[in-house]
Structure 1
Amino acid sequence: MKRENVTHLLATDLDGTLVGEQEMTAFLLDYYKDRPYQVELVYVTGRHYASTMDLINDEKLPMPSVLISDVGTEMYDFNDPALHERWKKTLEEQWNPDAISRIVELCSGLMPQSIPSTHRLSYYAESDEAVEDVKRKLIDSSVPHKLIYSSGRDVDILPPNAGKGEALSFLIREKGWEEANILVAGDSGNDRDMLTLGYPSVIVGNCQEELKELPDHPMIFRAQRLCAGGIHEAWEHFFEKAAAVK
């Protein structure tokens, strides 16, 4: 089901991006209310659904049109509940969590996280070396997967066609939003694949080290301000200044 007349869209991570500096979050949301156009909100987070809903309530955030949670393995369109099942079906084809779990158990330095998700295996890593070890073993096994290492400790192993970037691309195609003015925002390694989709993107000023190493690109804006302040900075750069030039 396509939503008509979407001209502007913010697809943003939550912790450390939209959320983290309360005054700037409030400023950004008020700024969007003052625009002469509607800004569609899509939250793209590593949190699971219940944890995300708690954060939305605690921070008094507006409900998004679509929530992509669990590092891009769950998707909830509050106007199209069937989208969740369509996305889930695409992930089932190459997902073998039992085989992946057996391989990880052979590695040391990884501690399982208790995450209520069927398309995500998550761990805390004691060191970079532990992550490299499990990467090698998974590659050698030829079990289809995607491994994402972020924030110097979080390891998520997903279906090979999952992740924030794949999920966001799927959503944009499903909704016919390809021509919208889209800003993607993130702060850590699990945002990397959506920040590099080719849409205008912002790496906020408080980003993790792994994003500082991302190659420069004209569609990637490196904000000076923190969290939502960086989103505002990038929005002005990509959309408001461009409109003023026209």
Structure 2
Amino acid sequence: MPQKSVSHLLATDLDGTFVGEGEELRKLLLHFESLEENVTLVYVTGRHLQSAKQLIDEEGLPFPEVLITDVGSALHDFSDSEIGNEWKAKIEEGWEPERVRAAARQIEGLREQELPVSCRVSFFAEDHTCAEELEKALRSSRIPHQFVYSSGRDVDILPLQAGKGKALSYLIQKKKWQDANVLIAGDSGNDLDMLLLPYPAVIVGNCQEELKNVSGDLIYRAKGHCAAGILEGWKHYFSRTDTRLAK
């Protein structure tokens, strides 16, 4: 399917990033409306599809071009479903969720989250110690996986080839969006791999502790919280008076 041309792209986490400060989100969207260029939205969230759609409805969010869910283990392109199907097939190779669950059952302090998906296995952890024990157990058992710990309690075990950064990179390549002006926004540890991609990124001011010391040549640390931080980062990179990264 021919891909539409995109000049500006915001790839953003939802909770605590795009969502969380209603008035600031309104200002961000008004800014986008004032631009001559259209801004394409991609939401990259830890929520599963139904939960993400519910949040979009409840908050009255603009519907995105693409919705990456389940910490990057599911991809929903609403104009080309084949891309999501290809991503699913790519990451399923070697994925053994029952072995992950078996390992977790041996560790105290983990409570599995009830999810309507099989593309990840997630837990609430009482503390970082039991999360680390699970990571060690998975490694010693040589279970192919991607380990993500965020917000001091959330443990996501993903297929080895999954993750927010890998899913976003795959999407950009498949959609031929490599030449777009991209801004990536996040607030927690499950955003880290996409924040470290070779694109401009913003860590919002209300970020979780695990991102407090993250830095990089393309990472802007905003003072503003949630959407205010995104707007701060957007103006830093893409304002007409600052053309350092404008194409």
- The 2-side partners of 1:244 and 1:210 are apart by 29
TM-superposed deviation, 1:107: 1.1
User: Per-residue CA shift, 1:87-128, capped at 9, x if unaligned?
Assistant: 100011120111111111111110010111111000000011
Mapped contact 2:237–2:244 kept (Cα < 8 A): no
Instruction: Give the 3-state SS of the residue equivalent to 1:243 in structure 2.
Output: coil
| Structure 1, gaps ≥5 residues long | none
Match of residue 49 from structure 1: 49
Residue aligning to 1:230: 229
Closer, same or farther: CA 168–58 of 1 in aligned 2, 3 Å:
same
Are 2:26 and 1:37 aligned? no
1:94 match: 94
Gaps of 5+ in 2: none
Q: Does 1:180 align with 2:180?
A: yes
How many Å separate the matches in 1 of 2:17 and 2:3? 26
- TM superposition shift of 1:185: 0.2
CA change 1:239–1:133 in 2 (3 A) is: same
Paired with 2:158 and 2:104, the residues of 1 have a C-alpha distance of 13
When the two structures are superposed, what TM-score results if normalisation uses the length of structure 2? Answer: 0.96
In the alignment, what sits opposite 2:220?
Answer: 221
**1:151 alignment counterpart:** 151
Secondary structure (helix, strand or coil) at the match of 2:98 reads helix
**Relative to 1, partners in 2 of residues 1:128 and 1:52: Cα closer, same or farther, differing over 3 Å?**
same
Q: 1:245 to 1:164 in 2, by over 3 A?
A: closer
Deviation of 1:244 after TM superposition, in Å, equals 8.8
Report the RMSD for the aligned CA atoms in angstroms: 1.3
Aligned to 2:3: 3
CA distance in 1, matches of 2:204, 2:90: 31
Q: Secondary structure at the match of 2:107?
A: coil
**Is 1:242 aligned to residue 242 of structure 2?**
yes
Q: Distance in 2 between matches of 1:245 and 1:181?
A: 8
The percent identity for this pair of structures is 50
TM-score by length of 1: 0.97
Runs of 4 or more consecutive aligned structure 1 residues displaced over 3 Å after TM superposition: 243-246
Partner of 1:67: 67
- Aligned-pair CA distance for 1:243: 3.2
Distance across 2 between alignment mates of 1:161 and 1:203: 24
